[in-house]
Amino acid sequence: MSKNVDFVKRQWRWTRRFAIFYPFWIALILGLNVWQDATKGEPFDWKQLWLALGMIVFGGLVYLFCSLIFRVVLAKATHDERRQ
């Protein structure tokens, strides 16, 4: 494999790692917000749950588009490698 194809695959691995840990970070932020509200004595705010769910769905859509872009870039890098 060429350096370009290796680079593209390495970048994709980092994107997958980020996509795996992204929902955990969102859950952590949600948990901290709920905990902070509970220590203040405020009632549970459902809006925070919907915002967290929306951020996770948005992250999933970004991951979907990134996977499509990755396939195009990998095909281009592989094509360029074969031409040489």
Per-residue pLDDT tens digits for 56-65: 999 999 999 9
Cβ atoms within 10 A of the Cβ of 77, count?
19
Q: What is each CA distance from 53 to 20, 29, 32, 57, 81, in whole angstroms? A: 15, 12, 15, 6, 41
**Residues sharing a CB contact under 8 Å with residue 27, sequence separation 6 or more, in sequence order:** 52
pLDDT digits (tens, 9 = 90+) for 8-46: 899 999 999 999 999 999 999 999 999 999 999 999 889
Say if residue 80's pLDDT is above 90.
no
DSSP state, residue 42: P
| Model confidence, pTM | 0.78
